[in-house]
Amino acid sequence: MPCPLSDSGALTARTVPFTGVIDAENSHRSPAPGPPFEVEAFEVTAVTSDGIELEAEAAWPGSPRPAGAGTDADSSDGAAAAVAVLSHPHPLYGGDMWNPLVDHLFRALPASGIATLRYNFRGTGRSGGSHDDGKAEQFDAAAAFEAAVRLTADRSPAAAAPPVVSAGWSFGGDVSLAANHDDLSAWIGIAAPLRIVDPAAMGAAADPRPKLLLVPEHDQFRSPAEAAEITEGWANTRLDVISGGDHFLMGHARTVGEKIASFVAAL
């Protein structure tokens, strides 16, 4: 389920306590262990260049863990080190911004200081428009990048805005690797099948900005060897294999989150 939102409009927030990160570590989605932390969860306005309004929300690092709740070296002091834009799996096969891995990252990354923004592609949830097989969805990803860039500027009036990073899973990986924004700092493709969009047409391929491809060892749609061959000539690209994982990454959500956090910290 989506986290509670303010109903008073875009960029208006209220603090939401997360007493346990809902994890994609098992099919029962049991709460992850650990002391509570807080994030701000709020609706975000994202409108595409072709006029489609997308359903979107953000989670911003909130206060540190409360006194007496234990210690955690990774907890945030309320500042965002980066913003990760999360793009979801294929909407014709049940994909939306509440899928378990996306939900895990949306809730868990702010605890390490990385704000998150997730959105529904056109024709999914409350987003307008209709599905377009990964083509017009590139406008959706670009609109989400723009929303994140705008959000970082609003949140950092007296300091340098934190980097905005794309992190797309499966269908969302292909689409987001094909989409661009001048102020995007890096791309992360999570189990990107590299076939929904022609890899040769992906804007990220020749771009000098950093890329991280997280490829499950047993991915049913694109093996690590195939992914390495396809992206061999890509600029500034690292490929990491998720040991033991398949395309759906059940049981590997924390590993994915840790790899994202490590990659972002090195930007």
Look up residue 241 and give its amino acid: V
pLDDT of residue 156: 83
Average pLDDT estimate for 56-84: 64
pLDDT digits (tens, 9 = 90+) for 8-37: 233 334 444 454 444 444 334 444 444 455
Task: Please report whether residue 126 resides in a domain.
Answer: yes
Gap between the Cα atoms of 214 and 190, Å rounded:
5
Please, what is the average pLDDT of the chain?
84
- Taking the C-alpha atoms of residue 245 and residue 247, their distance in angstroms, rounded to an integer, is 7
CATH of residue 69: 3.40.50.1820
pLDDT at position 107: 86
Residue 9 lies in a domain: no
Residue 188 has pLDDT above 50, yes or no: yes
Whether residue 3 is contained in a domain is answered as: no
Residue type, 149: V
Domain that holds residue 25: 14-265
Whether 1 is in a domain gets the answer no
Please check whether residue 190 lies inside any domain of the structure: yes
The answer to whether residue 2 sits within a structural domain is: no
Bridge partners for 56 per DSSP: 119
Mind listing the pLDDT tens digit for each residue in 112-132? 899 999 999 999 999 999 999
Rg (CA), the chain: 17
What global pTM score does this model have?
0.85
Contact 241, 217 (CB under 8 A): yes
Helix, strand, coil percentages (3-state) for the chain, rounded to 5, are: 25, 25, 50
Whether 151 is in a domain gets the answer yes
State the total domains in the chain: 1
**Residue 160 domain-assigned?**
yes
